[in-house]
Structure 1
């Protein structure tokens, strides 16, 4: 039986690794989005181009490029933006972009996919969040700053919870995931590469492997929940806040 995966934000980082992993499966068809042109011609991948989650028309543009009557088994929204800030130097434009990309755009993507009949009973929506969006896990040992990054992920978590309530009657499961602290250009661009080793950062391929396994077992029984498929290993405040001997996967607090 063929399944169809849609990856929003598939040109780099985790999205690119998910694209490669899913497209290697003979029974899986992959639709992948790019903000510009198709970056390659990976077999088994159909590119949807000029898809920018920070733009108001993202949902319409996405649906317009999908084949008529297509049914998506799982949509994974990985698109993100991280603009570094401190208390002494907050940045208005960076914050607006982070909130728009993380917490506003996904609502319109999911809305248009559902209204077009692309998502329906049995479909899954996976929103890639971050443990940084957990208010409970914030701890004095990591300090403040990076307001837009943390707060936009907290907003995404609320968006996912609300979507889960709207879509559960239609049989659509919605999950929030912290895929892991990753060795990507995004974390390097804000200087977090200096924490990669101490923080247990993994490659996007390693994070994708864990996430795919988690998605395979994700269903309506977990809809609206926030999970770390790789467990607490890269979450610096997990033991301080939640205690020791934590399980993997780990359900995270809001």
Structure 2
């Protein structure tokens, strides 16, 4: 019997690396979501769920409608993200709303529909990819302010994960929050953070995926609702 894994946001960055890594194991059956109707042909070993927009209110329904009935998912990793750069002088309402929606609203509806459809059951794991950028304690004068939507939506994501863990613990479903590490991606480059890659010890998505997969293997209900940084705080 194959181990079934769902990666939400599997076409680029960490999600793509996770999907590729998991699909290399012939005992895994990987489902990956794609916003496009034409997912990458290079990832042919992945069963694609297409037209999935994580910022849309029907994201949960769209995902479950494309998963075969009676499927039991071992692991769901929600990696989809969006970083809209802001400053105090130029806050952006639409960017902030999109970041909150993707990071803190969408996971609730995705997990809700997966559970109600019977795809998640006792022993299943849900991993929400968060970020240490959501830490209030780590924000200080040296780093400065700005990027309100990004940082605050990650803090909200952590709370959402904690609340989901409380609702799902009686069902035996574990929920984890993970900071995968500062990564060298188009998203961080797009907001000018590539200038911090070297000093910040940024890693490639493939490197982050390796450590995240190793963490997921050891993650269970005893750690549900907890926040983890498998690669450390950098």
Contact map agreement 1:120 1:171 (CA 8 A) in 2 = yes
Q: Give how far 1:57 is off.
A: 0.3
SS in 2 for 1:95: helix
Matches within 5 A, 1:117-196: 117-196=118-197
Between the aligned partners of 1:216 and 1:40, the Cα distance in structure 2 is 28
Q: What aligned pairs does 1:175-254 form with structure 2 within 5 A after superposition? A: 175-232=176-233, 234=234
Are the counterparts in 2 of residues 23 and 43 from structure 1 also a CA contact under 8 Å?
no
The count of residues paired between Structure 1 and Structure 2 equals 233
> What does 1:51-90 align with in structure 2 at a 5 Å threshold?
51-90=52-91
Aligned to 2:32: 32
Counterparts of 1:12 and 1:63, CA distance in 2: 21
The superposition leaves residues 135-159 of structure 1 with CA deviations (integer Å, 9 ceiling, x where unpaired) of 1222222111100000000000000
Distance 1:140 1:206 in 2: 30
- Structure 1 residue runs of 5 or longer lacking an equivalent are 235-254
Distance 2:175 2:139 in 1: 24
CA distance in 1, matches of 2:36, 2:43: 16
- 1:134 shift after superposition: 1.2
SS where residue 52 of structure 1 aligns?
coil
Q: 1:42-98 deviations in whole A, cap 9, x for unaligned?
A: 343100000011000000010000001100000000000000001111110100000
User: Which stretches of structure 1, 4 residues or more, deviate above 2 A after TM superposition?
Assistant: 41-44
- Alignment CA distance shift 1:41-1:183 (3 Å): closer
Q: TM-score normalised to the size of structure 2?
A: 0.98
Cα separation, 2, equivalents of 1:12 and 1:42: 11
> In the alignment, which residue of structure 1 is the partner of 2:101?
100
What's the RMSD between the two structures over aligned residues? 0.8
SS at match of 1:100: helix
**Unmatched segments (≥5 aa) in structure 2:** none
Cα distance between partner residues in 2 of 1:43 and 1:81: 25
